[in-house]
Structure 1
């Protein structure tokens, strides 16, 4: 199998999302017969059934589930590409950045100031959330980039990677009188407030 008809795949994608041939036909302004013919052609090409009957509707087969996962990524990305291209024609390039809530706003501002070229037609939007939530949105292509306090595990996050852009020190502060022991033994003399385990610094 060297190639596939992407029109057939597109019609299958709509049938899966709509849950029926009739629903897909209405969404695409086509006849149900046309949609059915396209699905059959794709099934012949893939040598397997993509749907099975369930009452008056359709239920995806195991092959259908597999094909949909890839088709959904393909057509979601293609729509995202068109949105970006069309947006760029009309206005500045839109770039969405996720910012981990553990980071200093001054630090994030410095990073973005260094990254954005002066007079470049770009519209920058920032969204603050937890590292885990930002990773989920990044994997769904809802964000273009995230700035966080911990790296991405590429073995667990397929298609994502991280780059270290800097580091900063951690300071310890206390009230008078100063501890008698040297650091870090002096930490045993005082109660210590540390970041939670949800943050990389407190893990």
Structure 2
């Protein structure tokens, strides 16, 4: 078997120096002598024939070769940590599921999807990361995530080899605090002309359908806020700054947790929920549990 000849201990020291911005800080972090770190960095650069770090003011920063090496180090040592965690969890009879949650996905939907993983005989340790859709896909492709939960599918023909699995869909309802709901409930949806609305931003998969729904019903609301983060949108909604859409599957949760009540139904509006994975066929037991729970209908995401 061909090996690279790299000394991974030396590589780890380079990674730490690059992260800390200097040999002294890295040495303090590692509990080693500065001379030890310096000598092993020199050995690494000599073995690969490239300078990886250069001075910039009082700091050491990666050269172009160092920047490239750093991207690989990030992956190598992340996978190393994940390997150690996986081995520890195997001994403890646990399973790890690292989930990326799109910032546009309703958090209550994410909770209800992930709740299915807690019904397995083997204990599941959830690690949840929230970020923008594109960033999560990149992390998924690099193996940093097991699955991404989101409200949109991956475009066909993209450079990333990831696959979309439709979990379900729900029609939408419009909610607001009681004072606003009473004002705009009568003669809905015509009553929405000039009404204060909180909407997702235009890069959200649902936004285009909402705009088309307004055109269909010939109403022009007053859009008082646009949000990428669904949780932030709901926070503004619960504080009475405007009316907001939410999946009908969450109607009871919205009323109980946000103190918002129904203004009107929008059955033509539907939101989809997807699991994005690295493989066409999902084999991770915890993700299989999510798919099985959705398709067998224990919670009403799909109508």
* Normalised-by-shorter TM-score class: 0.5 to 0.7
Q: Is the 8 A contact 2:54 2:62 kept in 1?
A: yes
Match of 1:60 among 39, 58, 62: 62
- CA-based RMSD: 4.3
- Mapping of residues 152-163 of structure 1, within 5 Å: 152-153=154-155, 158=160, 161-163=162-164
Which stretch of structure 1 is more off in the superposition, 39-48 or 74-83?
74-83
Query: After TM superposition, what 4+ stretches of structure 1 lie above 4 angstroms from structure 2?
Result: 98-108, 124-127, 136-143, 153-158, 169-173, 189-193
Q: 1:166 to 1:32 in 2, by over 3 A?
A: closer
Select the structure that is richer in strand.
2
Deviation at 1:67, TM superposition (A): 0.9
Match of 1:48 among 46, 50, 75: 50
Deviation at 1:110, TM superposition (A): 6.0
Q: 1:73 to 1:104 in 2, by over 3 A?
A: closer
Secondary structure class of the residue paired with 1:200:
coil
Aligned mates of 1:48, 1:22 — CA distance in 2:
22
Which residue of structure 2 lines up, in the alignment, with residue 146 of structure 1? 148
Q: Which runs of 5+ in 2 are unaligned?
A: 175-184, 209-303
Q: Which runs of 5+ in 1 are unaligned?
A: 178-188
Which residue of structure 1 lines up, in the alignment, with residue 95 of structure 2? 93
Structure possessing the higher relative contact order (Cα contacts under 8 Å, 6 or more residues apart): 2
Secondary structure class of the residue paired with 2:38:
helix
- Give the total of aligned pairs: 190
Aligned mates of 1:98, 1:34 — CA distance in 2:
39
Deviation at 1:44, TM superposition (A): 1.5
Aligned mates of 1:130, 1:40 — CA distance in 2:
38
Secondary structure class of the residue paired with 1:164:
strand
Q: Deviations over 1:89-144 (max 9, x none)?
A: 4463343444455459569736853x6663222244667x6753872795587754
Given the two structures, how large is their TM-score scaled by the length of structure 2? 0.47
**Does residue 1:69 correspond to 2:71, yes or no?**
yes
